[in-house]
Amino acid sequence: MGHSRRRQQLLSDKLLAIREFLKLGQAEMANTLKLEILSHTGQPYNIKPGRISEYENGQREPNLFVLIAYARLGQVHMESVADDRFTVEEFRKLLGQEFCYVTLSRPIKKRNKPVTLISGAL
């Protein structure tokens, strides 16, 4: 039998920090994530409020689409969310500081998806 993969120890605390930074309850966070995933991918994605609790308690890990949406909402790089070398205290200081993005609503040549422009630190 194989070994289970290593899990980030601080991920659940960082996801909670993002929700607290946004000042949202779990139900509001679920709806906000749904909208963020839809606006970025163009595909609907259903997240129930109970799932947010499971992420924050470390019972489940979000998939990549959800993790990207969390990072975008917190305006932080994915690396700072996923990498345990960033402590929760350091991470809280980064929230809202690492980048801002703008999504264009019109398609760019031969693309039907929105295009996101990311700028560096504010």
| Domain span including residue 80 | 11-97
Structure token digits, residue 35:
């909208």
E strands within the chain? 100-104, 115-119
- What one-letter code names the amino acid at 5? R
The verdict on residue 18 lying in a domain is: yes
The verdict on residue 6 lying in a domain is: no
Q: What is the predicted pLDDT for the residue at 107? A: 42
Q: Are 105 and 116 in contact (CB under 8 A)?
A: no
The verdict on residue 88 lying in a domain is: yes
Q: What is the CATH number of the domain that holds 90?
A: 1.10.260.40
Q: Are 54 and 60 in contact (CB under 8 A)?
A: yes
The verdict on residue 35 lying in a domain is: yes
φ/ψ (deg, to 5) at 31? -65, -40
The verdict on residue 115 lying in a domain is: no
The verdict on residue 66 lying in a domain is: yes
Q: What is the predicted pLDDT for the residue at 97? A: 85
What is the pTM for the complete model shown? 0.79
Q: What is the predicted pLDDT for the residue at 55? A: 96
Averaged pLDDT in 10-residue chunks for the chain of 122 residues: 75 97 96 91 90 95 94 92 94 86 48 51 48
